[in-house]
Amino acid sequence: MIKFSIHLLNISILSFVLLSSCVQPEGEGIVTGQIFIIGCSKVDDYGEKPDVKMPFNLEANFFVGEPILDESIQPDSHRLDVRIQKSSNQIGDVDSLYIQFGKVAKTAKLFSQRKPVPVGIDRNVKASLSLFLTCPDYFDGPTAHKTEAVSSSCPDLSAQEIDQICDNINYGEIANIYDPAPPFQEGHSCIILCNFGNAARGEDVAEDFAVNYGDTISGIFFLSIHSSRIIYDQPEICNDGIDNNENGFIDEDTCTTINAGGFVQGNFKIKLTRAKAIVTFP
């Protein structure tokens, strides 16, 4: 009897572990662009050489938003993690665009003011592209960050232009699939939000603002991507004619070849849905 009870308990625990992570996502969107990955697989690159980009389509069909609540005594650092991916497999087994809103109140304030949201390693919002299916042997990002080709992460838009953009989105579609779609251009790294939970245009946003399950987030994005090592370490880049590490020498012998780059763009509309647990055996 004891062994039988333990066996049932083990089955119950296993059932909960396997099924409690099941998610019924509610969303739509698209992720396309042009990228290159050197060392994409053991035999191939994605693109012929650095800066020769190939069309890319994530073929997104699974959309998840996960609010991460600050549980301190005076909560003011609520977060939101978003995944736009191909298939419902775990993130380590799929191609996925991962966006992290570090402090949602900061983002909500930009949304209220009808301002675009910059994305980058030094920004409140960060993003990265995981390519475990397309490039199973590449593990160096790529990470979103603006390039020197533009002066700002986001285009300069009026409140009216942002409203017009949001009024005309067809989620899951994009006019220029592989070419930069207006109002963005290569070098930008930016999100224009059209919904962000309960945040409202023109209204004040509290420091403890949070996005919760049941809320909807939506918008369009353009992300210039690079090898994360290039962004963080700022090494000397071979044959680019620039003193990247600012040591007084240009293109010295000890230099790094850029092994990833390009851009992804698209849109998303996601209703944040809590993972559903299955009732276990009594």
107: in domain: yes
1: in domain: no
Q: How far is CA 126 from CA 97, 136, 211, in A?
A: 11, 23, 17
Q: What is the DSSP letter of 91?
A: G
16: in domain: no
- Residue 216 reports pLDDT greater than 60: yes
Q: For the residues of 238-255, what is the DSSP string, one character each?
A: TTSSS-TT-SS-SS-SS-
Determine the pLDDT at residue 211.
Answer: 96
Please list, in sequence order, all residues whose beta carbon lies within 8 angstroms of the beta carbon of residue 101, skipping any fewer than 6 positions away.
79, 80, 81, 82, 107, 124, 125, 211
277: in domain: no
Torsion angle, alpha carbons of 72, 73, 78, 81, to 10: 30
Determine the pLDDT at residue 201.
Answer: 97
How far is it, in rounded angstroms, from Cα 117 to Cα 100? 12
Residue ranges making up the domain that contains 53: 25-271
Q: Are 146 and 118 in contact (CB under 8 A)?
A: yes
Torsion angle, alpha carbons of 162, 181, 240, 237, to 10: 70
Residue closest to 147 by CA, chosen among 242, 18, 43? 242
Q: Residue 92 in 3-state DSSP? A: helix
For residue 168, what are the β-bridge partners?
Answer: none
8: in domain: no
Residue closest to 142 by CA, chosen among 57, 33, 36, 32? 36
How far is it, in rounded angstroms, from Cα 272 to Cα 170? 19
**Higher pLDDT pick, 24 / 148:** 148
- Residue 101 reports pLDDT greater than 70: yes
5: in domain: no
Q: Are 273 and 26 in contact (CB under 8 A)?
A: yes
Residue closest to 166 by CA, chosen among 135, 126, 201? 201
Q: Which of 3-17, 54-68, 212-226 has the lowest mean pLDDT?
A: 3-17
53: in domain: yes
User: How confident is the model over 236-246, as pLDDT tens digits?
Assistant: 666 665 655 66
Task: Note the pTM of the prediction, 2 decimals.
Answer: 0.83
User: How confident is the model over 178-206, as pLDDT tens digits?
Assistant: 999 999 999 999 999 999 999 999 999 99
User: How confident is the model over 52-95, as pLDDT tens digits?
Assistant: 889 999 999 999 999 998 888 888 889 999 999 988 777 667 89
Q: Are 84 and 129 in contact (CB under 8 A)?
A: no
Q: What's the domain count of the chain?
A: 1
